[in-house]
Amino acid sequence: MARPRTFDPEVAIEKAMQVFWTHGYEGASLPDLLDGMGLTRGSLYKAFTDKKTLFLKVLERYEESAVLEGVKMLNDPAIPDGADRVMAMFTNAYQRVTEGDQRGCLLCSAAAGPSNYDDEIATVVSKSLGTLRDGIEDALRASPKHAALDDAARGELADMLISQYVGLRTMARARIGPDMLRNAVRSVGAMLA
């Protein structure tokens, strides 16, 4: 008879997310994960099969907790101008760096890392970045200046902005100086002006 789990898988995934976010996919060793999650090797493998399966679950959780929250902010009618919502997303990302958070975006790190060689991870990353990109495009529709653009032009601007966001968050993880990051945010402001 199998012993019941003595841990909450959702809490374990949350803890694993912090480990992957700090160390990256490649840098998160099994001992890092076991220590961070408070699990034994057997419990981890029994619950999550392997590191990649665990990482895919972490990316799912990240989409729920970070990406969808970002989209929610991009669609927040309390900020009437959608361009201001987009600018707030970039400003908030920069602010986190100035407050000492050098982790960047877990999704952006995955895009620059394991997505390069793993099709399944690449599919999940592409879907989540697409969700965020679509949130940016929706915000642009709510901007008086950008609502007048045709769909193709607005879509191209959203593509450019998601590229800027991935770049900014990846640069933050690479510990690029705050001046360059601030300039990147300013360039977004100029694009939206």
Q: Among residues 172, 182, 158, which one has the least CA distance to residue 85? A: 158
pTM of structure? 0.91
Q: Is the pLDDT of residue 35 over 60?
A: yes
Q: Quote the pLDDT of residue 151.
A: 95
Q: How far is residue 63's CA from residue 102's CA, in Å, rounded to a whole number?
A: 19
Q: Is the pLDDT of residue 5 over 70?
A: no
Q: Among residues 154, 153, 151, 163, which one has the least CA distance to residue 187? A: 163
pLDDT per residue as tens digits for the range 50-71: 999 999 999 999 999 999 999 9
Q: With contact defined as beta carbons under 8 Å apart, do 75 and 138 qualify? A: yes
pLDDT per residue as tens digits for the range 74-101: 999 999 999 999 999 999 999 999 999 8
Q: Which residues contact 170 (CB under 8 A, 6 or more apart)?
A: 104, 105, 108, 109, 111, 112
Q: What is the DSSP string of the chain?
A: -PPPPSS-HHHHHHHHHHHHHHHHHHH--HHHHHHHHT--HHHHHHHHSSHHHHHHHHHHHHIIIIIHHHHHHHT-TTS--HHHHHHHHHHHHHHHHHTT-----HHHHHHHTGGGT-HHHHHHHHHHHHHHHHHHHHHHHTSHHHHTS-HHHHHHHHHHHHHHHHHHHHHHHTT--HHHHHHHHHHHHHHH-
Q: Is the pLDDT of residue 4 over 90?
A: no
User: How far is CA 163 from its chain centroid?
Assistant: 13
pLDDT tier, 1 (very low <50, low <70, confident <90, very high otherwise):
very low
Mean pLDDT of the chain: 94
Indicate the residue type of 47. A
Domain regions of the chain by residue span = 60-192
pLDDT tier, 3 (very low <50, low <70, confident <90, very high otherwise):
low
Q: Among residues 150, 20, 164, 142, which one has the least CA distance to residue 172? A: 164
Indicate the residue type of 104. G
pLDDT per residue as tens digits for the range 111-146: 999 999 999 999 999 999 999 999 999 999 999 999
| Mean pLDDT of the 103-108 span | 92
Q: Of 1.10.357.10, 3.40.50.970, 3.30.420.40, 3.40.50.1100, which CATH number belongs to 60-192?
A: 1.10.357.10
